[in-house]
């Protein structure tokens, strides 16, 4: 959040330590003991400037919290002072929209603070208007509560407003990391925020500031890279989503952001996942404090202090200290030292923590123990998609039994209300649709196409194979040459993404090549005759996945090329003099043996809907400038392998990328 918002005297003043983030958590806790003053007593006295217009029909129209002229903290204190325990706990509760659709009045009954669309949880039809109508219908139920507190609606807009058909679909974060262009990342985020807010949601569960240290992780493509400094540079995405001034959050083209997943989600040890069949995702980060601070925690300091991120999502994963404690892993959702002592007190995070989807269900003990442990560790809002009524009932009981302090509830609710006031939701709770006509516009798609072009990494180019010439006869093979679903990857219209064309508009890589060249033959399995062609382009890669479903070792996923892709390379590169291979995948694949068969090799990542950007660099309209954001292993056995490792001997090192001009 923004530190320079004027705080009225007496409200909570937080130390702004300039000290570097060093040392152990124990030292941190000692340093901060007593550094915080208690929040002001709830309820502000009404004064002459508190009056709002007498005709205002809203609940408590005359109350100070209704007065937009008052400082946010004053409004928060007034509203908090009016709330019952049940209303406070309701604000700490987030449900999946599908869970309330059959009985929307429960939004009013429970006083729910938030709803979300999980991946692929979309209205029918999946159109901008239907989205806005849906969100506004839920909002109406929230405004019908005694105090009329508006609803926050969150979605995973992680590479555009990707749940919406017709939205601009950007490359995933690993590709954006390859651009090394923070301003481009910010522009993409601004477009994402514009298209998201214009359809109702005011909150994006993005960006992932995860630092991927083992590309066998199914969420590798959601990371900007393996270097925490690179990830930090790409946090310009937060500025794009939220804006850079306190008042920006109330704009119709900005949304609340969520830095995720705090912390060490990309640094877990292979095979340590304690949930489901995952092998990395949601596993255990086995580390010492120095390494954890330097790699996993580092991006969160600027996310809070420089970018004022409004929310942070703790990770499903656990941390197991090798240099302190009893050596037992502790889930981030209940990690008091890291959530409260470090993130909130030491780093100064004054937004709110949102749990991940049913993440507290992975905590030890019964549901009451899970709720209690997470709230007391510092979690503020709970993504309990299908258990909202049970969560509300359980937390109320825990407070009434004295096992959760009212002060912890008031802290959580104050953080949530502060975000809602800053978003302008009390003044404009319904969707401002004025930017809806920009969704998927040529101007927006042009930025996505630029991002695609700048993300392409040229890893080999012998004999001047690239750039291609429009006069050349080009033979294209590989399913990923002509599959929008595969080139967009997971988190696209559905949670896991889906192969095929027709699910959403866009341009395939083949479509892009045809924009540039006059004679193009496409044969998905390279069965068509190759004679007479000047150059072969073989597009290999992965099919869509999301989260742990994409972990190597899960559901048949490996880093190896498929047999069909290998066969295409053998056929096309064995028959045509000049041969270019493109890899459309969420992470480096093992190409050590195939590399020698190619003249040129390009990593295209998951480019999203604008495949034309790939062709732009293939034909030299745009120069190759992309650089690897992760190390490229010779074999799967080399993982995890990261820049800075001793005896570092990858196929391509972190930061590698050739340039090739016309």
Residues with a catalytic annotation lie at 356, 547
The smaller minimum CB distance to ligand GLC, of residues 118 and 429, is found at 118
Min dist. Cβ of residue 117 to ligand GLC (A): 8
118 interacts with ligand GLC by CB under 6 A? yes
Please, what sign has the CA dihedral across residues 156, 159, 164, 167? Answer: positive
User: Quick count: other Cβ atoms within 10 Å of Cβ 35?
Assistant: 11
Q: Return the SS3 of 75.
A: helix
The smaller minimum CB distance to ligand GLC, of residues 272 and 622, is found at 272
Site string for ligand GLC, 77-116 (x = CB under 6 A): ----------------------------------------
**Burial code of 108-146, b = ≥16 C-beta within 10 A, e = fewer?**
bebbbbbbbbbbbbbbeebbbebbbebbbebbebbbebe
224 interacts with ligand GLC by CB under 6 A? no
Min dist. Cβ of residue 154 to ligand GLC (A): 8
Q: Return the SS3 of 341.
A: helix
Min dist. Cβ of residue 199 to ligand GLC (A): 17
Burial of 358 (0-12, 13-18, 19+ CB in 10 A): middle
Q: How far apart are the first and last CA of the chain?
A: 46
What does the radius of gyration of the chain's CA atoms come to, in whole angstroms? 25
Residue 542, token pair as written in the block:
């992965």
Going by C-beta distance under 8 Å and a sequence separation of 6 or more, which residues neighbour residue 153? 114, 115, 116, 117, 135, 138, 139, 200, 201, 202, 203
Site string for ligand GLC, 531-550 (x = CB under 6 A): ----------------x---
Going by C-beta distance under 8 Å and a sequence separation of 6 or more, which residues neighbour residue 407? 38, 39
262 interacts with ligand GLC by CB under 6 A? no
The smaller minimum CB distance to ligand GLC, of residues 91 and 258, is found at 258
Residues 311-370 that bind ligand GLC (CB under 6 A): 356-357
The smaller minimum CB distance to ligand GLC, of residues 153 and 654, is found at 153
Burial of 2 (0-12, 13-18, 19+ CB in 10 A): middle
Min dist. Cβ of residue 548 to ligand GLC (A): 9
Min dist. Cβ of residue 423 to ligand GLC (A): 18
Instruction: Give Dmax over CA atoms of the chain in angstroms.
Output: 86
Min dist. Cβ of residue 611 to ligand GLC (A): 26
The smaller minimum CB distance to ligand GLC, of residues 260 and 420, is found at 260
Min dist. Cβ of residue 357 to ligand GLC (A): 4
Min dist. Cβ of residue 120 to ligand GLC (A): 9
Number of residues that bind ligand GLC (CB under 6 A): 8
The smaller minimum CB distance to ligand GLC, of residues 118 and 478, is found at 118
Query: Exactly one of 64, 111, 113, 119 binds ligand GLC (CB under 6 A); which one?
Result: 119
List alpha helices for 576-611, DSSP H.
592-595
Going by C-beta distance under 8 Å and a sequence separation of 6 or more, which residues neighbour residue 188? 160, 170, 176, 237, 240, 447, 448, 451
Min dist. Cβ of residue 216 to ligand GLC (A): 17
List, as one string, the DSSP characters of 558-578: -SBPPHHHHHHHHHHHHHSSE
Instruction: Yes or no: say if 279 and 216 are a contact pair by the CB < 8 Å rule.
Output: yes
205 interacts with ligand GLC by CB under 6 A? yes
Vertex 69, ends 63 and 75: CA angle to 5°? 45
Q: What does the alpha-carbon distance between residue 138 and residue 121 come to, in Å, rounded to a whole number?
A: 15
The smaller minimum CB distance to ligand GLC, of residues 356 and 411, is found at 356
551 interacts with ligand GLC by CB under 6 A? no
Instruction: Yes or no: say if 368 and 397 are a contact pair by the CB < 8 Å rule.
Output: yes
Residue nearest to ligand GLC (CB): 205
Min dist. Cβ of residue 98 to ligand GLC (A): 12
The smaller minimum CB distance to ligand GLC, of residues 362 and 625, is found at 362
Q: What does the alpha-carbon distance between residue 374 and residue 403 come to, in Å, rounded to a whole number?
A: 12
Q: How many residues does the chain have?
A: 662
Q: What does the alpha-carbon distance between residue 412 and residue 201 come to, in Å, rounded to a whole number?
A: 21
Sheet holding 258-262, edge to edge: 258-262, 311-314, 352-353
The smaller minimum CB distance to ligand GLC, of residues 235 and 547, is found at 547
Query: Exactly one of 50, 73, 78, 156 binds ligand GLC (CB under 6 A); which one?
Result: 156
Query: Exactly one of 66, 260, 307, 557 binds ligand GLC (CB under 6 A); which one?
Result: 260
The smaller minimum CB distance to ligand GLC, of residues 205 and 605, is found at 205
Q: How far is CA 649 from CA 174, 283, 459, 583, 631, in A?
A: 21, 26, 16, 21, 10
Binding site for ligand GLC (CB under 6 A): 118-119, 156, 205, 260, 356-357, 547
């Amino acid at each position: 959040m923004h530190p320079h918002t004027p705080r009225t005297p007496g409200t909570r003043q937080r130390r702004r330590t300039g000290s570097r983030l060093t040392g152990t958590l124990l030292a941190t806790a000692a340093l901060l003991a007593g550094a915080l003053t208690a929040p002001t007593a709830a309820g502000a006295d009404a004064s002459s400037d508190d009056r709002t217009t007498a005709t205002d029909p809203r609940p408590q129209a005359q109350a100070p919290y209704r007065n937009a002229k008052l400082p946010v903290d004053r409004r928060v204190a007034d509203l908090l002072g009016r709330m019952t325990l049940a209303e406070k706990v309701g604000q700490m509760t987030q449900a999946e929209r599908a869970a309330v659709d059959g009985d929307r009045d429960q939004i009013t009954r429970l006083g729910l603070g938030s709803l979300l669309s999980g991946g692929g949880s979309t209205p029918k039809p999946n159109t901008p208007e239907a989205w806005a109508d849906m969100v506004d219908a839920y909002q109406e139920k929230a405004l019908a509560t005694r105090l009329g507190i508006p609803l926050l609606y969150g979605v995973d807009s992680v590479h555009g407003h990707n749940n919406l058909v017709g939205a601009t679909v950007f490359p995933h974060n690993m590709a954006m990391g390859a651009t090394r262009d923070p301003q481009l990342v910010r522009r993409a985020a601004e477009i994402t925020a514009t298209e998201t807010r214009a359809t109702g949601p005011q909150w994006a569960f993005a960006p992932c500031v995860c630092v991927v240290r083992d590309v066998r992780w199914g969420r590798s493509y959601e990371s900007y890279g393996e270097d925490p400094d690179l990830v930090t540079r790409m946090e310009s995405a937060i500025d794009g989503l939220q804006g850079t001034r306190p008042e920006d959050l109330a704009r119709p083209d900005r949304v609340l952001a969520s830095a995720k997943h705090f912390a060490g989600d990309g640094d877990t040890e292979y095979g340590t996942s304690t949930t489901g069949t995952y092998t990395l995702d949601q596993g255990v980060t086995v580390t010492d404090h120095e390494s954890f601070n330097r790699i996993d925690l580092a991006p969160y300091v600027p996310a809070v202090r420089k970018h004022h991120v409004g929310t942070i999502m703790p990770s499903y994963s656990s941390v197991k200290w090798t240099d302190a404690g009893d050596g037992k892993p502790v889930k981030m959702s209940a990690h008091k030292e890291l959530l409260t002592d470090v993130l909130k007190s030491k780093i100064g995070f004054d937004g709110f923590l949102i749990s991940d989807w049913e993440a507290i269900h992975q905590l030890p003990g019964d549901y009451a123990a899970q709720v209690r442990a997470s709230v007391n560790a510092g979690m503020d809002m709970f993504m309990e998609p299908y258990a909202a009524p049970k969560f509300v009932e359980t937390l109320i009981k825990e407070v009434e039994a004295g096992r959760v302090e009212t002060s912890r509830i008031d802290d959580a609710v104050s953080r949530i209300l502060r975000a809602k006031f800053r978003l302008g939701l009390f003044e404009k709770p319904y969707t401002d649709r004025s930017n809806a006509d920009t969704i998927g516009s040529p101007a927006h798609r042009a930025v996505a196409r630029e991002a695609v072009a700048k993300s392409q990494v040229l890893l080999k180019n012998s004999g001047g194979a690239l750039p291609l010439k429009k006069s050349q006869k080009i033979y294209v093979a590989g399913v990923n040459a002509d599959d929008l679903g595969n080139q967009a990857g997971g988190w696209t219209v559905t949670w896991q993404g889906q192969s095929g064309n027709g699910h959403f508009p866009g341009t395939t890589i083949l479509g892009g090549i045809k924009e540039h060249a006059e004679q193009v033959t496409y044969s998905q399995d390279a069965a068509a005759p190759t004679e007479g062609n000047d150059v072969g382009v073989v597009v290999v890669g992965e099919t869509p996945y999301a989260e742990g479903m994409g972990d190597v070792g899960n559901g048949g996923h490996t880093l190896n090329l498929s047999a069909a892709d290998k066969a295409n390379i053998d056929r096309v590169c064995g028959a045509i003099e000049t041969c270019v291979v493109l890899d459309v995948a969420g992470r480096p694949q093992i190409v050590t043996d195939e590399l020698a068969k190619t003249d040129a090799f390009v990593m295209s990542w998951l480019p999203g809907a604008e495949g034309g950007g790939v062709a732009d660099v293939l034909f030299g309209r745009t120069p190759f400038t992309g650089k690897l954001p992760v190390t490229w292993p010779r074999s799967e056995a080399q993982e995890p392998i990261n820049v800075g490792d001793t005896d570092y001997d990858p196929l391509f090192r972190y930061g590698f990328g050739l340039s090739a001009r016309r």
